[in-house]
Amino acid sequence: MKSVTQRLLALVAVLLVSAPAWAQTVNVTFQADLRPAVANCRFDPATGSVFLRGSAFGEWAEASAVQLSDTDGDRIYTTTQAVAPGVAINYKFLAPNVTGWEDGGDRTFTPTSDASQTVEAVVPNVPNYGTNGCGAVNRNYEVEFQIDVSTLSATVFNPTQDTLFVAGGMTGWGDSKDRLTPSFDNADIYTTVINIDNFPSPGEQFYKFIVRKANAPGVIGRGPISWESPRNTNPDNNRRITYTGTEPDTDADGRLEKTEGPFYWSDVPPTEVLSAATTVTLEVDLGPAIYYAAAHSNMVPGATTAFSRTIFLNGPVMQAADGMTDWAAWTPEGLGAMPTRQFLDDGANGDAAANDGIYSKTVTFPRGSAIVQKGKFGADAGDNESGFAADRYIDLSTAVGGRLKMVFGAVVLQSGKVTDLRGPGAAPFGYDPYICIPADSLSATVSPTGACARPSASEPVDAPATSRFTVETVYPNPTTGATRLRYALPSAMAVKVEVFDLLGRRIETVVDETQAAGTYNAVFDARGLTTGVYVYRVSAGGQVQNRTFVVNR
Report pLDDT digits (tens) over 322-341: 877 789 999 999 999 999 99
With left for phi above 0 and alpha for psi between -120 and 50, is residue 77 left, alpha or beta? beta
Q: Which residues pair with 344 in a beta bridge?
A: 360
d(CA 70, CA 65) in angstroms, rounded, equals: 17
Q: What mean pLDDT value characterizes the chain? A: 82
Report pLDDT digits (tens) over 248-258: 999 999 999 99
For the beta carbon of residue 403, count every other beta carbon within 10 angstroms: 14
Predicted confidence (pLDDT) at residue 343 exceeds the cutoff of 60: yes
**Of 397 and 224, which is predicted with more confidence?**
397
Give me the mean pLDDT over the 218-247 stretch: 80
Of 38-42, 235-239, 308-312, 469-473, the least confident: 38-42
Alpha-carbon distances, residue 153 vs 158, 214, 274, 448, 508 (angstroms): 8, 15, 9, 41, 30
pLDDT at 146 (0 to 100): 96
pLDDT at 258 (0 to 100): 95
Of 18-22, 238-242, 381-385, 399-403, the least confident: 18-22
pLDDT at 427 (0 to 100): 55
d(CA 202, CA 370) in angstroms, rounded, equals: 39
pLDDT at 512 (0 to 100): 85
d(CA 435, CA 284) in angstroms, rounded, equals: 13
**In the chain, % of residues over pLDDT 70:** 85
- State the Cα torsion 74-75-79-80 to the nearest 10°: -30
End-to-end CA distance of the chain: 106
**Of 320 and 215, which is predicted with more confidence?**
320
pLDDT at 426 (0 to 100): 56
Cβ contact 162:214 at 8 Å? yes
Predicted confidence (pLDDT) at residue 31 exceeds the cutoff of 80: yes
**Sorting pLDDT into bands at 50, 70 and 90, what band is 380?**
very high
pLDDT at 527 (0 to 100): 76
**Of 28 and 231, which is predicted with more confidence?**
28
**Of 242 and 172, which is predicted with more confidence?**
242
Predicted confidence (pLDDT) at residue 133 exceeds the cutoff of 70: no
Angle at 475 between CA 473 and CA 476, to 5 degrees: 140
**Sorting pLDDT into bands at 50, 70 and 90, what band is 376?**
very high
**Sorting pLDDT into bands at 50, 70 and 90, what band is 18?**
very low
pLDDT at 455 (0 to 100): 42
Predicted confidence (pLDDT) at residue 22 exceeds the cutoff of 50: no
Predicted confidence (pLDDT) at residue 145 exceeds the cutoff of 70: yes
**Of 501 and 134, which is predicted with more confidence?**
501
**Sorting pLDDT into bands at 50, 70 and 90, what band is 61?**
confident
Give me the mean pLDDT over the 138-165 stretch: 89
pLDDT at 428 (0 to 100): 55
**Sorting pLDDT into bands at 50, 70 and 90, what band is 20?**
very low
Give me the mean pLDDT over the 268-283 stretch: 91
Predicted confidence (pLDDT) at residue 400 exceeds the cutoff of 50: yes
**Sorting pLDDT into bands at 50, 70 and 90, what band is 219?**
low
Predicted confidence (pLDDT) at residue 101 exceeds the cutoff of 80: no
Predicted confidence (pLDDT) at residue 462 exceeds the cutoff of 70: no
Report pLDDT digits (tens) over 492-536: 888 899 998 877 788 888 888 887 777 777 878 787 788 888 888
pLDDT at 264 (0 to 100): 94
d(CA 161, CA 327) in angstroms, rounded, equals: 27
Domains and CATH numbers, the chain: 18-130 (2.60.40.10), 137-268 (2.60.40.10), 278-446 (no CATH), 470-551 (2.60.40.1930)
pLDDT at 97 (0 to 100): 53
pLDDT at 23 (0 to 100): 44
**Sorting pLDDT into bands at 50, 70 and 90, what band is 464?**
very low
Element (H, E) at 493: strand 493-501
pLDDT at 147 (0 to 100): 96
pLDDT at 141 (0 to 100): 95
Cβ contact 524:484 at 8 Å? yes
User: Exposed e or buried b for every residue in 134-148, given b needs 16+ CB within 10 A?
Assistant: eebeebebbbebbbb
**Whose CA is closest to 200, among 140, 126, 130?**
140
pLDDT at 459 (0 to 100): 30
Of 92-101, 134-143, 179-188, 278-287, the least confident: 92-101
d(CA 157, CA 212) in angstroms, rounded, equals: 8
